[in-house]
Structure 1
Amino acid sequence: MTHPSWQPWQPGQGGGVPQRWQDGGAPQAWNGPATPAMLASHADRERAVDVLRAGYGEGRLEHAEFEKRVSRAYTARTVGELALLVADLPQGPMPQPAPVTPVPRTFLQVSRPQTNGKAVGSAVCGVLCLVSFGLTGIPAVVLGHAARSEIRRTGEGGDALALTGLVLGWLSNVAWAALLALMIVATALSA
């Protein structure tokens, strides 16, 4: 029993007619779905339907036309038939520019200035004056004055914190100074 000899295809010659490789050369790569007569695969049909869905979603096709083309896509036998179904559509969803409408100032987010770190430190030291028996009063005053100076210069937030630290620090320092003065007077009178 004799079998016919195998004849490899040579792309690009003879319009798809099988021919032998000449002179023992290597086969050339197939050009893909550029051949309109090539049979369509399921994936080719699904790609065509996806393009149709995108066109319908963008309002490029009426519903009846969309349904008609989808049914034709699923019954298409060749890649050429599918190409005709989507030839007048872009090959995917087209980005639509967003409408530019100004947002009223009332609804814009207000950016709050950053709180000054020295102001926070001044307020913490001022509050700690109550539990540390006034030992943090001098740092509260120094940090408070430095913070208020920086806040005026840079526009940062935290002026109330710096003022709180200043008031508590000065009250602590004045109380310690008055206590020290009373102790000096008491020792002078007792001597």
Structure 2
Amino acid sequence: MSSGNETVLIGKVSATHGVRGQLRITPFSGDVDSLLTLRSIMVKKPGGEMEIFAVAASKAHGKKVIITLKAFDNINQVLHLVGRELYALREQLPELPEDEYYWCDLLGLQVVTEEGESLGELVDIIVTGSNDVYVVQGSGREILIPALADVVLDVDSDAKRMTVSLPEGLLDL
């Protein structure tokens, strides 16, 4: 198990909201509620350094979260945060149900077929309207794998491996 002070990528600042310095957040877990109890967030600066901000308030807004930070009270103060990745301490995040994972726990996994054929490394996750899509890079090509229960058979965090059952013809695309 991970230590409680580990940082977890939780989302991205997609836009400002209103004129009072609120931020619209796109969560990477798909679970809006998991971000509503955060007491603080960290924003990665362009140089990679983390900046910590106390959260004054948060509310669900469709599939996004609106966060008010204690340090800011107008739109001009938060414009520089748009487009930045957000992190939180793992200890602040709720435990996810079985078969649900935070993105940081999936990125970097080796993806193999149920026959044991290595497909490559999970390097990105694309959010779509219905289900996420895993981007797997390997053997000089990119494979897009739907994140569906009948496709993803197993995630072994300890072995850093995901086992998949690919839909017929997916590798032929």
| TM-score interval (norm. to shorter) | under 0.3
Counting helix residues as a fraction of each chain, which structure ranks higher?
1
Say which one has the larger Rg: 1
Counting strand residues as a fraction of each chain, which structure ranks higher?
2
More RCO (CA 8 Å, sep 6+): 2
Tell me the TM-score normalised to structure 2 length: 0.23
